[in-house]
Amino acid sequence: IIKLVTVESIVPIAVKPTIGVHISELEKNEKGVRKIEFAAAGESPAGIEFYSWDFAYDAEKGFKPEVFIDKEGKQIYSCKAGLYHIAVKVVDNDGLENIETIKLKINGKIERE
């Protein structure tokens, strides 16, 4: 008897993790410097091992993390006025990874009420 089965029923197919990033402004000072919290949330059937952060991401140069192993997925970064390219990588317990890139523009003006 010959029975056709899908590959997935014999060998599980690995699925790379998904990732999303929430950005919150914590404070700003009189010089226009803003303290920003980045909170990454990854999902994977294998479970998340860690996150890595590159706060000066350049696609041509590749991912070069400043923070290599972040188990919680949260970072606080101080930003002056300007344009920032940030990347966060999630790695799951199977060693699969995914990267989310963020383009963040910080306005240096302080508005007084």
Model pLDDT for residues 77-100, shown as the tens digit of each residue? 999 989 999 999 999 999 999 999
Mean per-residue pLDDT of the chain:
90
Neighbours of 35 (CB within 10 A): 14
User: 3-class DSSP state for residue 4?
Assistant: coil
Tens digit of each residue's pLDDT (9 = 90 or more) over 42-63? 999 999 999 999 999 999 999 9
User: What is residue 109's three-state secondary structure?
Assistant: coil
Burial of residue 47 (CB within 10 Å: 0-12, 13-18, 19+) is exposed
Domains in the chain: boundaries: 14-106
Paired with 84 in beta bridges are: 104
Residue range 14-106 forms a domain whose CATH class is mainly beta
Q: Judge whether residue 111 has pLDDT over 60.
A: no
